[in-house]
Amino acid sequence: MILIVGASGCLGSAVSRRLLARRLPVRVASRRPASLAGLRACGAEVRLLDLAREDMLTPACEGVTTVFAAAHALLGRGAHRSEVVDRDGHLALIEAARAAGVRRFVYTSVLRASPDHPVDFWRTKSLVEQALKSSGMEFTILRPSAFMDIHAHRLIGRAILTGRRVQLMGPGTKRRNFVAVDDVAGFAIRAITGDELTGRALDIGGPENHSSLEVASVYGELSGRPVRVSRLPTWLLRTLAPVCASLHPGLARLFAMHALADEAFDETFDPTALLAEFPGRLTTLREFVGAQVVRAPTH
Ligand SMILES: NC(=O)c1ccc[n+]([C@@H]2O[C@H](COP(=O)([O-])OP(=O)(O)OC[C@H]3O[C@@H](n4cnc5c(N)ncnc54)[C@H](OP(=O)(O)O)[C@@H]3O)[C@@H](O)[C@H]2O)c1
């Protein structure tokens, strides 16, 4: 049995669908099991799971051979703030999996996770990576860059395709790497079902780096729709971050991240080594946007 934590999310659902298509036994978990009806219809066992609830972790791991962890609470607050879910919840999940006899644990971290990263979320990912490495279980750590499906489409392109104004945080000129979730899911499937990635931490990114303004302009060009952009200035993000820190730490983190100087927080990726080791195609931004444009409503 393969347990997917974060099965309602962008990556978790893509990986769940691929495993189910191979007719593998899959247990999908979420705080909102009703959101997993589609995966249930494809044959998945559905489980209520909240990483903030330690008592739910051991039962979820019973009879499981492999855990795929694809949950996060970057924007969480209160009982579901990042420290509770991303740090304590994941450390407890690793321990519950080990104690339940899980053989393999595949963890989704993030590109450039490190103990001295300027953003706490990246430090947390690094801490969990270390705990997994010393757990004794077979492990793979996936370290993807920003998902096109979220950071290019949901946060930029969708507004353009539906005639709304794009709201950017900061000037929108910082170059970042974007990777298609489908490409990340391909590596996750290799890690879950094969042995070639066991014991590895793999940096994963798309073929190019782009700024948010470039992403917006590709959407405009390929859809033929006007691009209207508003920007929250960096000084305002810097002011807002400490103001909302106690009320909404997730939002404060987002403001602080976007207020950081480009050089403080490199988000680019060079795919040369990845492509040399895994020859094949990585989805380009234009290919990805082209597919979104075809799917977009015409009125
Ligand atoms: N998005 C990116 O650009 C990006 C880039 C690099 C790495 N990653 C990593 O890739 C993984 C997947 O990200 P994603 O963007 O696909 O996620 P997503 O679409 O934002 O979905 C988040 C998932 O986390 C689950 N979750 C949140 N809090 C939870 C809790 N307390 N207990 C159990 N589940 C909880 C949610 O499930 P419910 O709400 O249904 O409970 C949901 O399935 C994450 O580890 C993320 O850090 C993402």
Rounded distance, CA 212 to CA 210, Å? 7
CA-CA distance, 20 to 89, in Å (whole number)? Answer: 26
Q: What is the pLDDT of residues 58-89, one digit of tens each?
A: 999 999 999 999 999 999 999 999 999 999 99
pLDDT, residue 261, reads 77
- Which of 55, 72, 109, when mutated, tests ligand 1's pocket best, judged by the most ligand atoms within 8 Å of its CB? 72
Per CATH, the number for 2-146+181-205+269-283 is: 3.40.50.720
Q: Rounded to whole angstroms, how far apart are CA atoms 88 and 90? A: 6
Q: Is the pTM of this model over 0.95?
A: yes
- Six-digit token string for 146: 């920003």
Ligand 1 pocket, CB under 6 A:
6, 8-12, 30-32, 35, 49-52, 70-73, 80, 85, 108, 110, 144, 146-147, 150-151
Residue 299 has pLDDT above 70, yes or no: no
Taking the centre of ligand 1 as the mean of its atom positions, its distance from the CA of residue 184, in whole angstroms, is 14
* pLDDT tens for each residue of 149-166: 999 999 999 999 999 999
Spacing, Cα 72 to ligand 1 middle (Å): 4
With a CB cutoff of 8 Å and minimum separation 6, the contacts of 198 are 104, 138, 139, 140, 191
Tell me if 201 sits within 8 A of 144, measured CB to CB: no
Looking at residue 298, its pLDDT comes to 62
DSSP E strands in 215-270: the ranges are: 229-232
Ligand 1, atom 21, lies closest to the CA of 9
Give dist(CA 179, CA 182) in Å, integer: 8
Residue 151: CB atoms within 10 A of its CB come to: 19
What atom of ligand 1 comes closest to residue 50's alpha carbon?
32
Instruction: List, for residues 37-46, the tens digit of each pLDDT value.
Output: 999 999 999 9
d(CA 60, CA 165): 42
Q: How confident is the model at residue 3 (pLDDT cuts 50, 70, 90)?
A: very high
Contact at 8 Å (CB) between 177 and 209? yes
Instruction: Please write the tens of the pLDDT for every residue from 90-149.
Output: 999 999 999 999 999 999 999 999 999 999 999 999 999 999 999 999 999 999 999 999
Q: pLDDT tens digits for 177-234?
A: 999 999 999 999 999 999 999 999 999 999 999 999 999 999 999 999 999 999 999 9
